[in-house]
Structure 1
Amino acid sequence: MPLFYQNPVIHADYADPDVIRTGDDFWMVASSFHQLPGLPLLHSRDLIHWQIVNHIVKRLPSPEYDSVQPGKGIWAPSIRFHDGQFWVFYSLPDEGIFVSHARDPLGEWSEPYCLNASPGWIDPCPFLGR
């Protein structure tokens, strides 16, 4: 395996990626904007070969997302693993900061929960301490 790679290692556009490691597994989320299902979850064992394994959000909370909304939708997610659960925090710039969680990243994720209903809040990066 080469020590260095010249981008792109992932041959697609995954804006605002965030990656965590749990054991031998790497998990990545990225912005999906107005496209649904939203928030792709990718998996890798080597940070080179990635596969889409799930989507965190099946639908967005507002009916206007049922049609194309350029520049809107899900932005800059952050993925975390804490107390045996995966947590994904993300923003809908016109609505606020949301979170979804799951014990099994390949299974069903919780419905989006609004943590802060404030337009203009973007790019959450939570710190989860003990």
Structure 2
Amino acid sequence: MLDAVGDTRTGLIAYSPLAQGLLTSRYLGGEVPAGSRMSVGHFLKEEALSGAKLDRLRTLGELAERRGQSLAQLAISWVLRDPRVVSVIIGASSVAQLDQNLDALHGGLLSEEELVEIDVLSRC
């Protein structure tokens, strides 16, 4: 899709860059918080928190921490790294979440090494 956007010189708005909340620190402990999307189970199922996926999420969380970011901010930075992506729909449920997510804009560019690490983790 990004190639088509680039070919037509248009832009793309990314939807759900936080994977319905999976790419937040909320689930890194392996627990499902009461009231979370996963606890309700409409879009995000508890099976999404499998051992291997949780390990990858924790590794991404460590990468985010090294960058001085939250996991959500790292995810947003990754989505916005591509100039064909002109905006993201983040679906924040509070002003505090919105403010935290907007801070991704201050995280700086992802290095080539960080992009490779993210790419490897996303293929597992």
Higher-helix-fraction structure: 2
Scaled by the length of structure 1, the TM-score of the pair is 0.25
Higher-strand-fraction structure: 1
